[in-house]
Amino acid sequence: GAGVSQTPSNKVTEKGKYVELRCDPISGHTALYWYRQSLGQGPEFLIYFQGTGAADDSGLPNDRFFAVRPEGSVSTLKIQRTERGDSAVYLCASSLTGGNEKLFFGSGTQLSVL
């Protein structure tokens, strides 16, 4: 596609529910990142994929958060037993390969946990 696509753009859920957030990176980009942006804050790193494998998941806050990228393209961020504190904009970004090449961000998914 022309850019990084994230769906849904908005997700409202109830405390305790399970949610999945999807990211379609730019075609051919091997590196994929998830960030989380809370209100009034800058983006915070969650996880980095190189191909199908998670190269760095040190930013995942706890074991309720999990992400996959089974075929090296689309990625899904999964959050179990959601809490109100999980409410934030979840950003996905991709770059052609690893390293500090230009990072392309999607518009994000606004997650609201009621």
Which positions touch other proteins (CB under 8 A)?
3-4, 31, 33, 40-45, 48, 55-56, 59, 91, 93, 95, 98-108
Identify the residue whose tokens are 């809490």.
83
CB of 101 to other proteins, least distance (A): 7
* Three-point CA angle 41, 54, 78, nearest 5°: 60
Return the number of the residue (49 or 73) whose C-beta is nearest other proteins.
49
Return the number of the residue (19 or 89) whose C-beta is nearest other proteins.
89
CB of 22 to other proteins, least distance (A): 15
Q: Phi and psi at residue 45, in whole multiples of 5°? A: -65, 135
> Cα 60 vs. chain centroid, distance in angstroms?
10
CB of 30 to other proteins, least distance (A): 12
Question: What string of DSSP letters covers 69-103?
Answer: -TTSS-EEEEE-S--GGG-EEEEEEEESSSSSPPP
Return the number of the residue (6 or 82) whose C-beta is nearest other proteins.
6
Return the number of the residue (82 or 89) whose C-beta is nearest other proteins.
89
CB of 88 to other proteins, least distance (A): 13
Question: What's the token pair of residue 114?
Answer: 């009621």
